[in-house]
Each structure stands twice: as C-alpha cells, then as structure tokens.
C-alpha cells in the first residue's frame, strides 16, 4: 500500500483547486467541504501520524470529527455523516452512484475501495452537498488518485509492507505511476489478511477475520491542448469475512467499477471546464454461515445478493468573471437490486424467499450552484437540485410474496425530491471568519424501506418489512461555522440543526408474524411525524514551536423523535487529543481518543446504554533519503497502549474493539 498521510481538516473553507494538467488554469465551483486528503509523503515534514500506513479506509474515516461508524465485525464499517445514514447520506466514487448488494448493510460503498485507490474523501455539507444526489444535507465523495503527467517519460512508485499483532494481520501493496507529456498510467494494488483479533481482556473475538484483494488503474491521455480523456477501473474482492455481531458471515464480496470520462477545458471564454462521464459497476455479495459451529446455526441458509448500476453525468463549470462562479450537473443512473434466501431446514425440503424482489430504479437529476464574492470579504453560495426517480419491481416471485400484505399492484412509484441551500460567509479580518446557511432537502426512500421482505436486524431482534408507498423524508436545516486562525493557532466550531419530517423508522406491526426463528416480531418501515438532529464539532490546533504541535477535537450529536425519545444509534460526546513532536527527521505522536457514556437510548429500538472509554496510542516514523530520489520510510507504534477492554456505542452487540496492537510498516518509494 502507498505510504499515506492523513490530513483531517475541521476547517470549512471555500476551497478552490488549480488544475494545470492541460496547461490551463481551472477554478471549479467552490464547495463547503471538510476534506480528508490521502496523499503520498513526498518530504520529511510534519505529516500527521494520526494513522499508520497500513490503515484501511474504515480506520481513516473513523478519525474524522464528522463521521461515526457502525461496526459489525472487523471489516466494512458503515459510515454515518453528522448523524445521518443510509439513504439520508449520499456516498459516491468520483461522482458515480453505487449501491451495496447486502440487505443487512454489510457492504457499504466505502468497503469496495482502499486508501490506496484514493486521493481524498470529501465530506459534504451545506451548499453543494447535493451535487451527487438527493440527500438530507450529508454526503461522501471518494476521489480516486489520478495518473500524473510528466515533461519527460518518468516512472515513480511506492512499495509497502506492514504487520499488526492484535489480529496477526499483514498488508502489502504497490503504487506505480508512469507519465509522459501526453499520457500517464497509474496502477495500484493491495493485499490484506487479518485473523480474528484479540480484545483488551485477552479474549479472542471470533468471526472478525477477513481477506481482501484490490487492484486499480487510471489512464489519462491528452487529446489536444484542451482535452483530457480518462479511463479508470477498480476490482475489489473481499472474502472469508467474519461478522461477530451478526448470525452470518460473508464468503465473498466482489465488485467491478469502471468509468470513462472526457474533460474539456476553456471551450469558451466563460466555460472553464466540461466533463462528460459514463460508468458501470457491479457487486456480488454472498452471506454464509457454513463456518459457524452447529450450535450457533439454528437453520443453515444461503443469502446471495447483487447490485448493478450504470450511469451518465455531465458537469459544466462557468466563470463569467473573477467574482462569480456557476456550475451545472445533469446525471442519470439505473440501479437493479436482487437478493434471495435459500433455507435448509433439517429433515425437510429447502425453502426459498426473495428479500429484494428485483428492485429496478431509474433516476434523472439536475443540479445547479452559484457563488458570488462580494466586497469586504463576503461570499454567497446557493445550490439547487431536482430529481425524478421511479422505482418498480421486476421479479414475479417477489411480487407474489408482497401480495400477502394486500398491497395490490403497487409495484411502481415515482418520487420527485427537491432541495435547495443558501450560505453566506464573512471574513471579518485576516484571523476571523464565519459562515451561516439554511436549506431544505428531500430524499427518496431506499430499496429496503420500500420493498424489503423480512430483513432481520439482530441489533433489535426484529424482522423488517418495507412499505411501497412510504413518503419521502423532508428536512429543514440551519448550519453555521466560525474560525479563528493566526500563524500558530486555529480554532474552528461548526454546528448543524435539522428538523426532519416524515422520518422513516421501524414500527412494530403486531398483526405480522416474524419469519426469522426466535425473532422478537416484525417491524414495518413507517413515516413517524418528525425528528430533531443536532451536530456540533469543535477543533483547536496549536503550533507551539517548530517541533511541537497539538490538536484537540470534539464531536457531539443529539437526536430526538417526535415522542421525545432519543433517536437510536447516536454516538455520545467523543474527543481526540494529538501531540506531535519532530526531531532530527523523527516524527513522534501521542494521541488519546475517548468518549463519554451514552445513556440517551431509544427504548423502542431496544437500544442498550454504553460505557465511556479512552484509548491511548503512540506512533513513531522516520524517512531516510536514499540515492536518486529514493526513500525508505519506517512506521511503528502501539495502539491501545494500556490494553483497555472497550467498545464504542455504535458497535453492534457490544463487540469489544482490539486490545493492544503492535504494528510496523516499511515503505520504499522510487
């Protein structure tokens, strides 16, 4: 794997990018984004060691103050952005829509790429967040690494190997870039294997093992002074994946992701850039219980699922003058989901059921954004999105199953979500700036919320059934951020409030029998009246000397349903303290991550309280310059230094996290 540096910016800025690959200057529409930048370490300066080079993407995302993760095992954590999850937040790869193939959410989109594939992760909020799809003011866009051109034929690369003790894991990878003046190719690969890890009390947590193979390539070609053609492909295959908090594991989770794009620069005086892109991705996911001991398997079953997505989009960036920017995006995607269950009762014929009954979705969307830079440090941003989305069933078996609910012929529905955001920023001085914004957003119900058929949730012990005519969620939001910075200190505080109408929630339906053996009952996805959601983030960074820097961040979420009960699965107050020290090319870091107890729980969801926890990590790195621009980097450290036994509130079944972990990684760059 590539040697990586993680820069988590709590700063919300009107960020602009210089694109010089075509020899032209390009300024896309400024968006309000927190960005995790994943990049090669090219010098021995104060790159943060908050993660190790062997970290997978889950561990990197989890350290963002805007993201909390649902953990069901040792792999494929489900990201939650500012308390929003599932269909409430949009997750894309280079603007491509992609949907997991597991009815139990065991394969979020983030599980099908590695940090080696990526250059950065945009954590969206505010104006511009609906660029890639309808959502409730939250989204992630995973940007893949691009092949780099060079004035002369040049080859660069990185080789990586790392070990970790807690799960007796290893990872190996490479990243090679070959570039010339008119063409460039980047190729990267990753191989990871982790066994079931040991928790802080010395106990092995069974069914947390996994293996993963990933390869990605990016090809770019200059078809003229103003045109770049680009092709990318990622193959990801994870297998033998354990899920300690679930009754089943995963034998295989495989994806193929492909995209072809054409980028046109400076076509007209005011047209800065036009991108036309087509893409396709396919996921095959197989749940499996054959490696569980007989006493854990009430009845053997197979649960395969598949997801196919194809799409097109075009982006147009306009720059009428230095103070005004306009962006348009038109997009279309088609997604098909199918999942089934084959049950093998002892001494009886097998049984068959369709859990995602051939769900077919087509969506057309239009996005527009405008930014205006006024005098006296005032910036104005506005965005708008409108979609037409139709969803229908194509599987005859699934249609017959749903007829037991007397839903008639309700197999086709159309939704037209709309959203709009406005934001105003003011730079009061060289040191102080602030932003305030407000907006309205709607989102389309997910496939499971509409047509899911007896989807078992082991967290609350209920089977879930979709409601085809369920309403869209609608949210009004208000957000603000303030920042103070000078040459040594940066302080940032952000806050967001959402009032979500027709909030989608599982409600017990006593008239329906459960399908799963020993389940507590059946719940229907239902619109409850409303819910409130508040998120607060704070960050303080101080450069005490050239050698010493500290960073402190904290995140607080508060959610309440219409009946006054808390929203389920809301993380408590969490904080991170980092101390970095540099000396003679050595980098040392001490970090303490902690959370308070969470006693605000949703009793209707059968949620349990969780205890507070704190974990200390120490990290050390050294880069040695070799001949001819070659480098050797060494990273080592101890995670969970005091071997604490702990779990986080969103960890299903209170499965404990890894105990003390000694790790090391060697990276050779050339």
The pLDDT tens digits of the residues spanning 432-451 come to: 999 999 999 999 999 999 99
Q: How much is the pTM?
A: 0.91
Query: Confidence band (pLDDT; 50, 70, 90) for 3?
Result: very low
Q: How many CB atoms lie within 10 A of CB 621?
A: 23
Q: What is the pLDDT of residues 389-408, one digit of tens each?
A: 999 998 888 888 887 777 66
What pLDDT is stored for residue 13 in this prediction?
A: 29
Please enumerate in sequence order all residues whose Cβ is within 8 A of that of 446, keeping only pairs 6 or more positions apart, or say none: 86, 87
Measure the CA–CA gap between 421 and 129, rounded to whole angstroms: 9
Nearest residue to 126 (alpha-carbon basis) of 472, 500, 623, 497: 497
Measure the CA–CA gap between 2 and 175, rounded to whole angstroms: 6
For tokens 């961040």, name the residue: 553
Measure the CA–CA gap between 531 and 84, rounded to whole angstroms: 12
Measure the CA–CA gap between 576 and 588, rounded to whole angstroms: 16
Please enumerate in sequence order all residues whose Cβ is within 8 A of that of 583, keeping only pairs 6 or more positions apart, or say none: 547
Nearest residue to 191 (alpha-carbon basis) of 167, 172, 216, 174: 172
Query: Confidence band (pLDDT; 50, 70, 90) for 528?
Result: very high
Measure the CA–CA gap between 543 and 490, rounded to whole angstroms: 9
| Run of H or E including 116 | none
Handedness of CA 531, 500, 470, 606 (dihedral sign): negative
Alpha helices (H) along 6-70: 57-62
Provide the percentage of residues in the chain whose pLDDT is more than 90: 78
Show the tokens assigned to 342: 């084959």
What pLDDT is stored for residue 17 in this prediction?
A: 35
Secondary structure letter of residue 402 according to DSSP: H
Nearest residue to 591 (alpha-carbon basis) of 544, 539, 637: 637
- Per-residue pLDDT for 543 more than 80? yes
Secondary structure letter of residue 516 according to DSSP: S
Nearest residue to 17 (alpha-carbon basis) of 243, 221, 265: 265
Q: What is the pLDDT of residues 295-341, one digit of tens each?
A: 888 888 899 999 999 999 999 999 999 999 999 999 999 999 999 99
For tokens 């910075």, name the residue: 485
What pLDDT is stored for residue 45 in this prediction?
A: 30
Query: Confidence band (pLDDT; 50, 70, 90) for 7?
Result: very low
Q: What is the pLDDT of residues 235-260, one digit of tens each?
A: 999 999 999 999 999 999 999 999 99
User: Span 60-87, mean pLDDT?
Assistant: 92
Q: How many CB atoms lie within 10 A of CB 295?
A: 6
Contact 450, 465 (CB under 8 A): no
Q: How many CB atoms lie within 10 A of CB 517?
A: 10
Please enumerate in sequence order all residues whose Cβ is within 8 A of that of 135, keeping only pairs 6 or more positions apart, or say none: 84, 87, 88, 89, 90, 129, 419, 441, 443
Contact 326, 369 (CB under 8 A): yes
Q: What is the pLDDT of residues 157-191, one digit of tens each?
A: 999 999 999 999 999 999 999 999 999 999 999 99
For tokens 């092949």, name the residue: 147
Query: Distance of CA 497 to CAs 129, 476, 559, Å?
Result: 16, 8, 10
Measure the CA–CA gap between 603 and 121, rounded to whole angstroms: 35
Which domains, from first to last, does the chain contain?
5-669 (2.40.170.20)
Measure the CA–CA gap between 98 and 348, rounded to whole angstroms: 39
Q: What is the pLDDT of residues 565-616, one digit of tens each?
A: 999 999 999 999 999 999 988 999 999 999 999 999 999 999 999 999 999 9
487 vs 330, higher pLDDT: 330
377 vs 38, higher pLDDT: 377
Handedness of CA 244, 246, 251, 252 (dihedral sign): negative
Measure the CA–CA gap between 510 and 582, rounded to whole angstroms: 62
For tokens 């980098």, name the residue: 587
Measure the CA–CA gap between 630 and 157, rounded to whole angstroms: 10
Contact 169, 163 (CB under 8 A): yes
Contact 127, 32 (CB under 8 A): yes
User: Span 33-39, mean pLDDT?
Assistant: 67
Pairing mode, strands 300-321 and 271-288: antiparallel
- Per-residue pLDDT for 562 more than 70? yes
Nearest residue to 324 (alpha-carbon basis) of 381, 283, 244: 381
Q: What is the DSSP string of 118-153?
A: EEEEEEE-STTGGGGS--SS-EEEEEEPPP---SS-
For tokens 């092995």, name the residue: 204
What pLDDT is stored for residue 42 in this prediction?
A: 27
| Run of H or E including 448 | helix 447-451
What pLDDT is stored for residue 612 in this prediction?
A: 98
- Per-residue pLDDT for 36 more than 80? no
What pLDDT is stored for residue 410 in this prediction?
A: 64
User: Span 362-386, mean pLDDT?
Assistant: 95
- Per-residue pLDDT for 226 more than 60? yes
Contact 111, 56 (CB under 8 A): no
Secondary structure letter of residue 377 according to DSSP: T
Measure the CA–CA gap between 327 and 319, rounded to whole angstroms: 9
331 has which bridge partners?
313, 365
- Per-residue pLDDT for 8 more than 70? no
User: Span 65-89, mean pLDDT?
Assistant: 93
Alpha helices (H) along 14-133: 57-62
């Amino acid at each position: 794997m590539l040697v990586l540096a993680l820069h988590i910016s709590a700063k919300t800025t009107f960020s602009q990018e210089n694109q010089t690959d075509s020899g032209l200057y390009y300024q896309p529409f400024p968006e309000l984004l927190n960005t995790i930048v994943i990049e090669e370490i090219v010098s021995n300066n104060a790159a943060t060691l908050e993660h190790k080079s062997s970290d997978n993407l889950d561990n990197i995302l989890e350290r963002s103050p805007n993201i909390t993760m649902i953990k069901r095992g040792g792999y494929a954590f489900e990201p939650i952005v500012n308390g929003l999850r599932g269909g409430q937040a949009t997750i894309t790869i280079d603007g491509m829509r992609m949907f997991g193939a597991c009815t139990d959410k065991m394969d979020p989109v983030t599980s099908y790429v590695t940090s080696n594939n990526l250059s950065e992760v945009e954590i969206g909020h505010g104006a511009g967040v609906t660029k890639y799809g309808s959502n409730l003011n939250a989204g992630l866009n995973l940007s893949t690494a691009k092949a780099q051109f060079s004035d002369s034929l040049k080859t660069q690369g990185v080789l990586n190997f790392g070990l970790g003790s807690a799960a007796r894991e290893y990872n190996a990878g490479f990243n090679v870039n070959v570039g010339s003046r008119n063409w460039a190719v980047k190729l990267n690969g990753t191989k990871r294997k982790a066994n079931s890890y040991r928790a802080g009390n010395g106990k092995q947590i069974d069914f947390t093992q996994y293996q993963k193979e990933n390869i990605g390539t990016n090809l770019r070609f200059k078809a003229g002074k103003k045109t770049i053609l680009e092709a990318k492909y990622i193959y990801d295959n994870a297998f033998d994946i354990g899920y300690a908090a679930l009754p089943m594991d995963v034998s295989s989770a495989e994806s193929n992701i492909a995209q072809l794009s054409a980028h046109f620069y400076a076509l007209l005086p005011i047209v800065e850039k036009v991108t036309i892109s087509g893409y396709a991705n396919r996921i095959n996911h197989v749940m499996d219980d054959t490696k569980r001991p007989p006493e854990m398997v009430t009845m053997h079953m197979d649960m395969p699922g598949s997801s196919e997505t194809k799409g097109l989009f075009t982006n147009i960036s306009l720059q009428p003058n230095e103070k005004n920017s306009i962006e348009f995006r038109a997009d279309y995607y088609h997604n098909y989901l199918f999942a089934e269950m084959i049950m093998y009762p002892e001494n009886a014929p097998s049984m068959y059921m369709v859990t995602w009954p051939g769900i077919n979705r087509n969506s057309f969307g239009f996005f527009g954004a405008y930014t205006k830079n006024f005098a006296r440090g005032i910036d104005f941003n506005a965005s708008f999105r409108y979609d037409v989305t139709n969803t229908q069933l194509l599987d005859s078996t699934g249609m017959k199953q749903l007829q037991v609910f007397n839903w008639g012929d309700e197999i086709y529905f159309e939704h037209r979500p709309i959203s709009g955001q406005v934001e105003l920023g003011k730079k009061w001085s060289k040191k102080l700036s602030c932003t305030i914004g407000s907006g309205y957003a709607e989102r389309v119900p997910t496939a499971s919320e509409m047509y899911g058929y007896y989807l078992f949730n082991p967290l609350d012990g209920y089977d879930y059934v979709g409601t085809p005519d369920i309403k869209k969620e609608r949210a009004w939001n208000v957000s603000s951020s303030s920042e103070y910075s000078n040459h040594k200190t940066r302080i940032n505080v952000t806050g967001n409030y959402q009032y979500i109408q027709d909030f989608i929630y599982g409600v017990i339906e006593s008239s329906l029998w459960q399908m799963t053996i020993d389940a507590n009952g059946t719940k229907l996805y239902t619109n409850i009246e409303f819910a409130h959601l508040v998120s607060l983030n704070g960050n303080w960074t101080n450069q005490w000397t050239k050698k010493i820097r500290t960073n402190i961040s904290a995140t607080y979420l508060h959610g309440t349903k219409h009946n006054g009960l808390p929203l389920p699965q809301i993380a408590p107050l969490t904080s991170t303290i980092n101390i970095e020290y540099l000396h003679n090319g050595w980098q040392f870091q001490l970090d303490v991550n902690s959370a308070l107890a969470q006693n605000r729980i949703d009793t209707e969801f059968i949620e349990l309280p969780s205890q507070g926890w704190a974990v200390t990590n120490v990290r050390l790195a050294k880069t040695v310059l070799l001949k001819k621009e070659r480098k050797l980097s060494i990273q080592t450290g101890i995670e969970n230094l005091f071997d604490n036994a702990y779990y986080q509130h969103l960890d299903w079944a209170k499965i404990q996290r890894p105990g003390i972990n000694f790790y090391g990684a060697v990276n050779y760059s050339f």
